[in-house]
Amino acid sequence: MTPTPVSPASPGAGPAPTTTEAPALHAAALALGDDALVLSHRLGEWAGHAPVLEEEVALANIALDLLGQARVLLSLAGDEDELAYLREERAFRNLQLVEQPNGDFAHTIARQLYFSVYQTLLYGQLADTDSLLAPLAAKAVKEVAYHQDHAEQWTLRLGDGTAESHERMRRGLDALWRFTGEMFQPVPGLDLDWQGMREQWTARVTEVIEKATLSVPEGPQSGAWTAGAGREGLHTESFGRMLAEMQHLHRSHPGASW
């Protein structure tokens, strides 16, 4: 398929699409691509800081899988580097969950748990559709099943480890809970069973958290005015700083090739 270029500043405002599926497909590729791109970046920040050498390898591996997915998805929406490096904060369509700073290892694992269960369900459903994204989803679902396993294993170890790790894991799960509702806002262009996904996600996450001797957080799953916000280009304050770091070199040399 030929990707239709999207104007970096306002995705979706590119040249007239050739098929009726194109705008919705681009919006979907952008949403999922931005999720993968941004989480990959956050995980990349762990390099050299992980608690044990095996986790240097594991976190980098997950980051690389996600970056690979992001590159395929963004290329469906336009030029991968223009989209990654030349869009402003408000043009990104990722969930607020994935842009949240790493925090401690438990915080990162909580983010991984929430997101990887979601991504496994989403790609699993998407792989069975006739969407142009189905082939990517079929390949990626195998990768994200491993990410889910990694996050679940660590949730169990930390939750049911020492008193300190239990408390840290609880804090991580609680702090990120309010970013989880957004995941189930339907993404335009993805004809999926969002309500069913929400139920399956809740069931799985509940099972893992309880097995880890913790409780499912009780607060709301979205902020007062932020339901669906990331998908609409509303982000949290740390995201602008993340992009400033990510984009500065590319933007410092306009038109250069690397």
Footprint of other proteins (CB under 8 A) = 37, 41, 44-45, 47-57, 60-61, 63-64, 67-68, 70-71, 74, 80-81, 84-85, 104-105, 156-158, 160-162, 164-165, 168, 245-246, 248-250, 253, 255-258
Smallest separation (angstroms) from other proteins to the CB of 232: 24
Nearer to other proteins, 28 or 83 (CB): 83
Which residues neighbour 66 within 8 Å (Cβ) at sequence distance 6 or greater? 36, 37, 39, 40, 43
Nearer to other proteins, 104 or 174 (CB): 104
Nearer to other proteins, 105 or 184 (CB): 105
Smallest separation (angstroms) from other proteins to the CB of 217: 20
Looking at residue 232, what DSSP letter applies? G
Q: For residue 25, how far is the Cα from the chain centroid?
A: 18
Smallest separation (angstroms) from other proteins to the CB of 256: 5
Which residues neighbour 96 within 8 Å (Cβ) at sequence distance 6 or greater? 179, 182, 226, 229, 230, 234, 235, 236, 239
Q: How far apart are CA 176 and CA 98, in angstroms?
A: 10
Nearer to other proteins, 59 or 197 (CB): 59
Encoded amino acid at 234, one letter: L
Q: How far apart are CA 15 and CA 24, in angstroms?
A: 14
Smallest separation (angstroms) from other proteins to the CB of 128: 28
Smallest separation (angstroms) from other proteins to the CB of 18: 25
Smallest separation (angstroms) from other proteins to the CB of 221: 27
Nearer to other proteins, 15 or 255 (CB): 255
Angle at 146 between CA 156 and CA 152, to 5 degrees: 15
Which one, of 41, 86, 25, 34, lies nearest residue 230 by Cα? 34
The residue whose two tokens read 């995980």 is 43
Nearer to other proteins, 80 or 182 (CB): 80
